[in-house]
């Protein structure tokens, strides 16, 4: 990831934090492939990772770029915990779950809008992807994230051990 893209992602994350990590429940579901969970997260199915969900149209391009990068870095982010509390509140197992709920066998993707509302999710993904693109191993990135977020954040998701 280019340094400017990483910086943009961090600025975007900060603006999301300022706008709050909650959903006010005003959004309505009119798309047949879109659902809303009990926790207020929106899930939308598209035919592949190349087709981003329509809920991203309400955000800056940087948000869509980070969602695309997250989908393309599945193996990495499935090994990285999230520290926003989504393991307990939304049943997430790793940082990838903040962006993608399910990858179906036919190639379609069920996206999750959870990360659009939470700067911690966005920051962990952006930092992890940037480190991976710089050649760091998944194990080293996991250690880096665990060290950075071990204090002052929620319990990590129950991500499988490396």
- pLDDT, position 6: 47
pLDDT tens readout for residues 95-119? 999 999 999 999 999 999 999 999 9
The whole domain housing 44 covers 39-54+70-148
- Residue 86: inside a domain: yes
Which pLDDT band, with edges at 50, 70 and 90, does 40 fall under?
A: confident
Using DSSP, state whether 13 is helix, strand or coil: helix
- Residue 104: inside a domain: yes
- Residue 95: inside a domain: yes
Rounded CA-CA distance 50/29 in Å is 22
pLDDT tens readout for residues 118-139? 999 999 999 999 999 999 999 9
Is 60 exceeded by the pLDDT of residue 26? no
- Residue 160: inside a domain: no
Burial label, 5 (beta-carbon count in 10 A; 0-12, 13-18, 19+): middle
Per the structure, how many domains does the chain have? 1
Asked if residue 130 lies in contact with residue 65, where contact means CB atoms within 8 angstroms, the answer is no
């Amino acid at each position: 990831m280019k340094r400017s893209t990483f910086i943009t992602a961090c600025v975007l994350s900060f603006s999301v934090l300022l706008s709050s990590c909650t959903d006010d429940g005003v959004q309505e579901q009119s798309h047949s492939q879109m659902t809303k969970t009990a926790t207020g997260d929106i899930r939308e199915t598209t035919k592949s990772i190349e087709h981003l969900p329509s809920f991203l149209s309400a955000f800056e391009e940087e948000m869509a770029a980070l969602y695309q990068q997250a989908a393309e870095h599945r193996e990495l982010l499935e090994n990285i915990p999230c520290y926003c509390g989504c393991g307990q509140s939304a049943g997430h197992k790793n940082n990838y779950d903040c962006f993608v709920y399910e990858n179906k066998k036919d190639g379609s993707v069920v996206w999750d809008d959870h990360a659009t509302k939470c700067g911690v999710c966005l920051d962990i993904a952006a930092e992890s992807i940037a480190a991976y693109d710089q050649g760091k191993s998944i194990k080293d990135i996991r250690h880096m994230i665990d060290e950075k977020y071990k204090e002052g954040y929620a319990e990590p998701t129950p991500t499988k051990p490396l």
